[in-house]
Chain A
Amino acid sequence: MLILGISAYYHDSAACLIKDGKILTAVEEERFSRIKHDNGFPHKAIEFCLKSQNINPEDIKHIAYYEKPLLKFERILETFIDTYPLSLRPFLKGMPEWLDYKIKVEATIRKLGFKNEIFFMPHHFSHAAAAFYPSSFKEAAILTVDGVGEWQTTGLWKGENKDLYTFKLLHFPNSLGLLYSTFTSFLGFKINEDEYKLMGLAAFGKPTFVNKIHSIVDIKDDGSFKLNLKYFGFREGFSMYNRRFEELFGKARKPEEKSTKHHANLAASIQTVTEEIYFKMLNYLYLITKTENLCLSGGVALNALANGKIYEKTPFKKVYVFGAAGDSGAAVGAGLFIHYNLFAKRHSGEQGDKPSTSDSRIVVKNLYFGSEYSNEQIESILKKYKLKYKKFTNEDELINKTAKLLSQGKIIGWFQGRCEFGPRALGNRSILCKPNPRSMKTKMNIIKKREQFRPFAGSILQNKVQEYFKISEKNLWSPFMTFCFKVKKDKKKDLAAIVHADDTCRIQTVNKINGRYYLLIKKFYELTGIPCILNTSFNLKGEPIVENPEQAIKDFLKTRMDCLVAGDFLVLRK
């Protein structure tokens, strides 16, 4: 049974194709449209899903849309009413968009030739499903927490085999995601995009504004909370905060303005309050579910700094965060929910679908679900750009050479296999270098044109992770870069370019499943004795991660990367 999952019209639109519970393809629209966090309808992503599997719209049995558009529209209308007459401007801007296309999702899908059933999953159902079904847990507590879906902003759930049970929820406007985004915007960063920058900045400050933040958010011991709306502007205007907010926290930072200690203190404060709410929620979730397994989803679940402290601050022993925890992953969740939950119910009950062949769930161990290019395709592009390259017919030789270049301090554009799904480059569309000395960070930041305060992530061999990081579990599996852990004191020098100001590092554990990337890090370890490399996404400032070899070559030529390894080819900069 083929299911097409779709998410659109908020941020990170995406499409995926699922067959009998297995994700065949999943990709964000931004990779093709080249608009970062593209929120349009994912026409190109859907086209890719169909073409890559050589199927037609009529072959799709069910379509799963990741939210209920009419319910969302109801929330928007009610908010206009509640904030009358202040919401005139957003009303004039938002209404034509809603009436023109956002409300007509079904018609848009039908226009593409899909004739079969369309399901509209509630937004947080999609998140919960994306968190639980790809995990290896038979039973787990689930927390979904994001900006907002239709009405819901937070959900406490339990997953058992193929069932999801809902317990508690919070509604708009009480949203942890929106609270964090308000500070993101206040500090001059883009919302739904630059939350990572705020997280990075937090390490340089002290949480001196915590009491003030408590005065605008009432937090209960069970993690539920309520925003004091007098300070927020996101319901009635285009700004997340208002004049009262500025009176309380000082003047907002302009995007071009330099970050000061004051800004870092604000970042540290909101990170502290976010963690306070997060851990209170999780402890309450544990109380009502009594299971030591935890699954997380929703945009807030990408707060790797908070995730890294879960083992220490809550009773949960095992934590799974689906790598695409944001709205793109909700397309996958919607599809998986149909397969595991609705379809299972159908074949045991009334209608005529055939039963699924397998009762067990399929664990998602990597996110390489996107496009792939052959050596022939890559070579033709290299020729088009008249680049001198060497082709390696032996994989060992390619790995040896690349690892040697890394060990010599070269910065390498690494383009291999299928594109990653989700916000992180996990070793197929990455820019790599060795994790020390500290100057490697500066060098990489210049190439990526990033702010110097932002940290880089590391990819480390899974069986070596405990030697380098303070973690609770030997051989910890964290393949999607969704956790930050403290680096051990004696290893800080080895990882000098990726240790952040608070001694943490966001990590990706790598094992054989990662294929060529694993071989590269293993070889690098043999050469240097360090089982870790710096890994950042293959893109330049403001653009999405590269999707095809031509984009990779263009970025290579635009920057001071030393080499490009694309497929079996090595290009050295002269």
Chain B
Amino acid sequence: MTKSKAQVKSEIQKFIKKINNFFINIILFLFYFLIIGLGALIYGFFKKRNKEANSYWQDYPQKELGLDYFKSSY
């Protein structure tokens, strides 16, 4: 049975998507090993060491939260 045009188109699209994902994964893989890896190295130096504590509660930063704070997505 011959495939319809729509089927062929859909298969090509799927193939292109697969290639895209493959390249995205390669880029992410490199990013992970080079950038995140470098980050991990630096992070290791500055990471706070655990101290024995009587409580693990942290104080909430006491600062006035203005409108701009709530408008920011960070």
Q: Which residues of A approach B to under 8 Å, CB–CB?
A: 65, 68-71, 74, 78, 80-82, 84-85, 88, 91-92, 95-96, 105-106, 117-121, 155-156, 166-171, 174, 218, 220, 222, 224-226, 338, 342, 345-346
Contact = CB atoms under 8 A, between A and B. Distances in A.
B60 A167 contact: yes
Contact of A168 (B39, B40, B58): B58
Interface residues of B, number: 26
B71 to A, nearest CB: 6
Interface in B16-62: 24-25, 28-29, 32-33, 36-37, 39-40, 43, 47, 53-60
Contact of B56 (A65, A69, A84, A224): A224
A155 B60 CA distance: 9
A119 B71 contact: yes
A226 B56 contact: yes
A411 to B, nearest CB: 46
Given A74-B74, A81-B43, A105-B73, A169 B58 contact: yes
Interface string B57-71: 111100000010011
Contact of A95 (B28, B58, B60, B67): B28
Given A169-B58, A220-B56, A84 B73 contact: no
Given A70-B73, A166-B60, 10 more contacts: A65-B73, A78-B43, A85-B37, A88-B29, A120-B73, A174-B56, A220-B56, A222-B55, A342-B70, A346-B67
B72 interface: yes
Contact of B72 (A78, A84, A120, A225): A120
Q: Which among B59, B60, B72 has the greatest number of chain A C-beta atoms within 10 A?
A: B60
B57 A81 contact: no
Contacts of B29: 88, 92
Contact of B24 (A96, A120, A155): A96
Given A68-B72, A96-B24, A224 B55 contact: yes
Given A84-B37, A88-B32, A92-B28, A169 B60 contact: yes
A220 B67 contact: no
A531 to B, nearest CB: 44
Q: Which among B37, B54, B56 has the greatest number of chain A C-beta atoms within 10 A?
A: B56
Contacts of A95: 28
Contacts of B36: 80-81, 84, 91
B65 to A, nearest CB: 9
Nearest to B37: A84
B74 to A, nearest CB: 4
For the complex of A and B, the 6 pairs showing the least CB-CB separation, nearest first, are: A84-B40, A224-B56, A70-B74, A166-B60, A168-B57, A81-B39
A168 B74 contact: no
Name A's interface SS: mixed
A120 B37 CA distance: 31
A162 to B, nearest CB: 14
A368 to B, nearest CB: 30
Given A82-B40, A222-B55, A168 B60 contact: yes
Given A70-B74, A88-B32, A169 B56 contact: no
A166 B60 CA distance: 6
A65 B71 CA distance: 10
B55 A220 contact: yes
Contacts of A92: 25, 28-29, 32
Contacts of B70: 119-121, 338, 342
Contact of A220 (B24, B32, B54, B59): B54
Nearest to A171: B58
Contacts of A119: 70-71
Contacts of B56: 170, 174, 218, 220, 224-226
Contacts of A71: 73-74
Nearest to B39: A81
Contacts of A78: 43
A81 B57 CA distance: 24
A232 to B, nearest CB: 16
A96 B25 CA distance: 9
A70 B70 CA distance: 13
Contacts of A68: 72-74
Given A68-B74, A220-B55, A222-B55, A342 B67 contact: yes
Given A92-B28, A95-B28, A117 B39 contact: no
Contacts of B73: 65, 68-71, 105-106, 120
A305 B57 CA distance: 25
A389 B70 CA distance: 53
Contacts of B40: 81-82, 84-85
Contacts of A346: 67
11 contacts: A68-B72, A71-B73, A80-B32, A82-B47, A84-B40, A92-B29, A95-B28, A156-B57, A166-B60, A174-B56, A226-B56
A224 B59 CA distance: 12
A224 B55 CA distance: 6
A220 B32 CA distance: 37
Nearest to B58: A169
B71 A118 contact: yes
Contacts of A171: 58
Nearest to B52: A218
A83 B72 CA distance: 28
A168 B59 contact: yes
